Chain A
Amino acid sequence: MSDPHAITREIDRSHMQVSDEVAIQITSMNKWYGAFHVLRDINMTVNRGERIVICGPSGSGKSTLIRCINRLEEHQSGHIIVDGTELTNDLKNIDKVRSEVGMVFQHFNLFPHLTILENCTLAPIWVRKVPRKEAEETAMHYLSKVKIPEQAHKYPGQLSGGQQQRVAIARSLCMRPRIMLFDEPTSALDPEMIKEVLDTMIELAEEGMTMLCVTHEMGFAQAVANRVIFMDQGQIVEQNEPKEFFNNPQSDRTKLFLSQILGH
């Protein structure tokens, strides 16, 4: 297996316990784009502390699935319950879920007109109503954690891609979310920047954060995930522990996919 970003470091699993408490519950969820059936009968349960990697070919609906969890996309049937709050058309519920769930995007989506520090303090100040000074302290704490406190007063345009993505992670963490969603966080990065972002994500996992990652970084999946979900054509085709998933795939579609991404 040749993975350019094989995780070589020792991983501290002491905090990585999965509790019985349910964080996300999705039951028979369907979504259409017009007449196109993008997500078909999705059922999944995520317990608190779980680290789940979702993979699959492009167009398989994996991004759409995690975007449904904080209602960036609307589902048309079935139920999504996040932290005990069901996502419906009720705007209050949606805002509540969104403030508990952090999200990191493929293209970072930092706010270019605000400094790094302002990017990190904006939501705590306006959504959580945290006093500015406290919000800035929290922001500096998380910026140190992602190892770029010295960039706090620059603008996003002055940072490299990897640094921007780490700021995006810090920005989400400043809201002290209970669940983190990652939507292909390393796909838009140069190879040498991928590692710094993955390291940040691993640290987050080591602290016991509940994480759902759409990613093709199989090294990360093997090192950190406790479950890998494989999707194709809008459906969950296979899910298993990483070791089993990679060494003993069950369905033909999974075998084909794994041979394609790991075989070269």
Chain B
Amino acid sequence: MTNQEWPLYEVFIRTRSGLSHRHAGSVHAPDDQMALDHARDTYTRRNEGVSIWVVRSDRIVASDPAESSALFEPAEDKIYRHPTFYEIPEGVENL
């Protein structure tokens, strides 16, 4: 029974023009075109969207949480990348 299920799609919605698409949830659909319809009918019932992306869930490549220290922690000590790292003398403006 399990392998008869329609494939799973992840749904991304742009809620207003000017914003990026954001993950809203998932739907099952037999194919890409139907996935768009299903995403529309499921996730934009309250006027939440101006654009939809759908992508087969099994096509998403994700980072592994087991590797998260290797992937993300090295950035933690690069504090000089943030503007607050720098001291600006009193009285200097527009910087």
Answer yes or no: do A and B interact.
Answer: no
The residues of B with any CB-CB pair to A shorter than 8 Å are: none
The residues of A with any CB-CB pair to B shorter than 8 Å are: none
